[in-house]
C-alpha cells in the first residue's frame, strides 16, 4: 500500500505543482480572478485524478482485485494530501516570490467590486496551508466516491 500511495502521490504532487504554477504564472496577468479560480479548480481535479488510478492500481495489481471502502479511503486521502502539498508549495512560491503583491491586488479588486465583506487577511503561508486543507477535503470526497465505485470484497 505504501508504494502505491508514494507512486501516485508523487505523480499527483508534481502534476499539481506544475499545472498550478503554470496557470498562475501564465494566466494571472491576462485573465480575471474568476477565470483563474476556475482554472485553479480544474488543475486541482486533474491532479486529484491520481486518487482513482492509485486505488484502482492497488486493487487490481497489489491486492488481487479486492479493496474495501476503508482501504480505498486511506489510500486516496494520503494521495490527496501529497497533491495538496504540491499545490500548496506552488501557491506559496507564487505569492511569496513571483507576485508578492498578489493579496494586495486581490483585495483591491474585491473593494472595486463592492465585495469588501469577502476580504480575509492572508499571507503566503496561510494561503498555502489553506490550499493543502482544501485539496485534502476535495480529495477525501473523491476517495470516498472512488472507493464506492471500485470496492470489491
pLDDT in tens, the chain (153 residues): 999 999 999 999 999 999 988 887 776 566 788 888 888 899 999 999 999 999 999 999 999 999 999 999 999 999 999 999 999 999 999 999 988 998 998 899 889 988 888 888 899 999 999 999 999 999 999 999 999 999 876
CA distances from 134 to 47, 68, 86, 140 (A): 13, 25, 12, 10
Kindly state the DSSP code that residue 97 receives in the 8-state scheme: I
What is the reported pTM? Answer: 0.91
Considering only CA atoms, give the Rg of the chain. Answer: 17
Q: How many helices (H) and strands (E) does the chain have?
A: 5, 0
- Domain range annotation of the chain: 2-150
Distance in angstroms (rounded) separating the CA atoms of residues 92 and 17: 11
In sequence order, what DSSP letters do the residues of 45-57 get, joined into one string?
Answer: HHHHHHHHHHHHH
Amino acid at each position: 500500500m505504501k508504494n502505491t500511495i508514494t507512486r501516485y502521490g508523487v505523480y499527483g504532487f508534481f502534476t499539481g505543482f506544475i499545472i498550478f504554477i503554470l496557470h498562475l504564472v501564465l494566466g494571472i496577468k491576462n485573465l480575471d480572478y474568476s477565470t483563474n479560480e476556475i482554472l485553479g479548480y480544474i488543475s486541482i481535479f486533474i491532479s486529484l485524478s491520481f486518487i482513482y488510478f492509485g486505488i484502482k492500481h492497488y486493487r487490481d495489481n497489489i491486492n488481487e482485485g479486492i479493496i474495501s471502502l476503508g482501504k480505498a479511503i486511506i489510500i486516496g486521502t494520503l494521495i490527496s494530501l501529497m497533491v495538496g502539498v504540491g499545490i500548496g508549495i506552488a501557491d506559496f512560491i507564487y505569492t511569496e516570490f513571483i507576485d508578492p503583491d498578489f493579496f494586495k491586488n486581490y483585495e483591491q479588486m474585491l473593494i472595486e467590486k463592492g465585495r469588501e465583506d469577502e476580504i480575509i487577511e492572508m499571507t503566503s503561508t496561510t494561503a498555502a496551508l489553506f490550499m493543502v486543507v482544501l485539496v485534502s477535503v476535495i480529495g477525501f470526497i473523491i476517495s470516498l466516491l472512488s472507493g464506492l465505485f471500485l470496492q470489491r470484497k
